[in-house]
Structure 1
Amino acid sequence: MKKTLVLLLCLLFLIVSCNSQERDDYDFEGITLGVHDLFNVLTVFVEDNLGGNEVILQGWDPSSFKDYEVEAYQVFLTKDTKIINEGSGEELQMVSRHEFFSGHSETVASTLLFHPYRKVAVKVEETFSSSVSSNRSNYIMYDRSFLPIYRAKEVRLFPLTFNDFVLTNTVHIQPDEISITAVYDPSTDNMNNYYFDYDKLWNSLISSQDPSAYVTFQTWEVPYFEQYHPPSEYQQYPIFFILNEDGLLYDTHDWDDAAEYVESVIDK
């Protein structure tokens, strides 16, 4: 029994040591803020003196920026940059601007590199030195100028989660806005039908409700959505997510149910 316990402890130690060594191979870890201005330059946020290592999406105070400091880097992606999927160990190929915006299904995993708020680890070509940018006049989400820039030797993509999906779909929601996000299977479903239903809902709302409350609508294809590893209860399609600036409010597989819920929220 004692021998078995010792062997298990040794195995655990080796696993932890290997993971620690693997992390140590990278120069920094952070959250991507997506591409900015240039398609092959990725902004990676590490931490700041407002939210620590978390990005503040809503409710920040502009007066806080008098002494704002942030550690963030511009990461230049080249044709030699290795992009590793942490979950599978697979090396992904960089996609061209055309492939990214045309949304070919075979490039789904790679294009998700450019989706904001994904956790990554970066190894750079140059000698790396951590640096805090001080005396900045605006939040990192709105001002990425004059950040240190490095060429990426390797970028490791950590697995996305369903919470990342909710965050991605919440960040641009304004106060008094309700957003409907529809996830559908393009092989069996027609996206245009949902836009037609949304138009009917919108026309009904503006004719009878407070115009200060408004509803937006967007769609996701299943291959993109499943990169966020949704729980099993969200893997029957179509599915409609109702969100506001605070996050996920409701989900349903039935459009009429989604429309009824939106109307009930706006009535309050």
Structure 2
Amino acid sequence: MKKMMIILSIFLLTSCNTNNEDEPHIEGTLIAHGGMISLLTVFVEDSISGNNFEYPETEPTSSDMENYEAEIYRLLLDKETKFIFNETGEELTVNMDGFPYHLHGFFQSWSDQVEVNVKEEFEREILTDRSTPVSMDASFIPIYTADEIFIESPDKELLIERYRTHTSTENDYKQASVLTFLDDSFSQDSLMTNQQHFQPYQKEDQWINNQVFFNDEVGIYDHFIDSYPTYYVLDEEGKVFETGDLNDVITYIEEEKEFEINEEWLEQQEHIDEMED
């Protein structure tokens, strides 16, 4: 009987370990974070936001921080880190030339929900005794090296809600967001080229938030994008314009949204072009 109990205990322990090995080490939300831009920050949960992270609009109160707890990690990426589309298990074809770059911007081209396996032995850690939330202070956040990063299939409505403009009593400038969906694999050159399309419209009293999304060969956005490229224009109401032609976007933001070209920026560009010639 004693021998049978020992065997049963070993079996149960083995089963538990197997189940844990099938689960990702870290599962959470990618957030923009100050400090080293070559580190990726994954927020799991804290006692203010739970696991539905939102950037704080106001300073936390002393009562918020009194029994504050948080789980958050920072990740190093290297040439061996694999990027996998969770829905199909396919590996993404990422052009790593120019690495490192701003990693949060890099992952924004897919999804901000990720699962991660790390190279080191992983130990879950809860942070306490902090005067500010972890989203505002990167001190003492555990750092691991990412082995595999699993990208979730993005939700169209969540993307629109995240990037629609938000009116504020503090900011009375003109705002719009443009979401660009490309049937390409990620590259730093493509990201920079497509982000520059709306640079001439950035000035003190107007601002365009331009986000670029890469479909990759695995078809990350095929479940709601029928053809590429596709452009969404968003305001505080959500999506207000959709087209496959960049020129149509320019016409819309100039005529319907009344954005004006920044003449100072044009003069600077002309000067740069003359210097290069």
Q: Same fold (TM over 0.5)?
A: yes
Match of 1:62 in 2: 60
For residue 132 of structure 2, give the secondary structure of its aligned residue in structure 1.
Answer: coil
Of stretches 121-130 and 233-242 in structure 1, the one that deviates more from structure 2 is: 233-242
Alignment map for 1:193-204 (pairs within 5 Å): 198=201
* Stretch moving more, 58-67 or 177-186: 177-186
How many angstroms does 1:158 deviate by? 1.2
In structure 2, what is the equivalent of residue 216 of structure 1?
207
Alignment of 1:1-268 (within 5 A): 24-34=22-32, 37-63=35-61, 64-92=64-92, 95-96=95-96, 98=98, 112-113=106-107, 118-166=112-160, 168-169=162-163, 175=169, 176=171, 178-183=174-179, 198=201, 214-220=205-211, 223=214, 231=224, 237-243=230-236, 248-253=237-242
The letter of the residue matching 1:43 is T
Q: 1:192: how far off?
A: 8.2
Cα displacement string for residues 134-191 of structure 1 (whole angstroms, at most 9, x for unaligned residues)? 121222222122011222222211112224433553599855455212346899xx99
More helix by share: 1
Query: What is the deviation of 1:36?
Result: 5.2
Whole-Å separation in 2 of the counterparts to 1:123 and 1:84: 11
Compute the displacement of 1:193 (Å).
8.3
Q: How many residues align?
A: 218
Structure 1 residues 60 and 222, CA gap change in structure 2 (3 angstroms)? closer
Q: Distance in 1 between matches of 2:37 and 2:124?
A: 24
Offset at 1:80? 2.5
Gaps of 5+ in 1: 1-19, 103-109, 207-213, 264-268
Give secondary structure in 1 for the equivalent of 2:129.
Answer: strand
Match of 2:274 in 1: none
How far has the Cα of 1:119 moved from its partner?
1.0
CA RMSD of aligned residues (A): 4.5
8 A Cα contact 1:42 1:114, kept in partner: no
Q: Does the aligned pair in 1 maintain the 2:195–2:212 contact within 8 Å?
A: no
Partner SS, residue 65 of structure 1: helix
- Matched to 2:31, the amino acid is L
The verdict on how the C-alpha distance between 1:131 and 1:22 changes in structure 2, with shifts beyond 3 A counting, is closer
CA positional deviation for 1:217: 1.4
Instruction: Classify 1:259/1:151 alpha carbon distance in 2 versus 1 (closer, same or farther; 3 Å).
Output: same
CA–CA separation in structure 1 for the residues paired with 2:136 and 2:165? 13
Give the distance between the partners of 2:105 and 2:52, measured in 1 at CA.
23
- In 2, the alpha carbon distance for the partners of 1:75 and 1:68 equals 23
Tell me: CA distance 1:259–1:227, structure 2 relative to 1, closer, same or farther (3 Å): farther
- Once residues 195 and 81 of structure 2 are traced to their aligned partners in structure 1, the CA distance between those partners, rounded to angstroms, is 36
- What secondary structure does 2:98 align onto? helix
CA deviation profile, 1:65-111 (whole Å, cap 9, x unmatched): 34322100112223332221213322235654626769xxxxxxx97
Shift of 1:126: 2.5
Once residues 197 and 148 of structure 2 are traced to their aligned partners in structure 1, the CA distance between those partners, rounded to angstroms, is 42
Question: What TM-score results when the alignment is normalised by the length of structure 2?
Answer: 0.58
CA distance, structure 1, for counterparts of residue 88 and residue 94 of structure 2:
17
Contact 2:182 2:215 in 1 (8 A): no
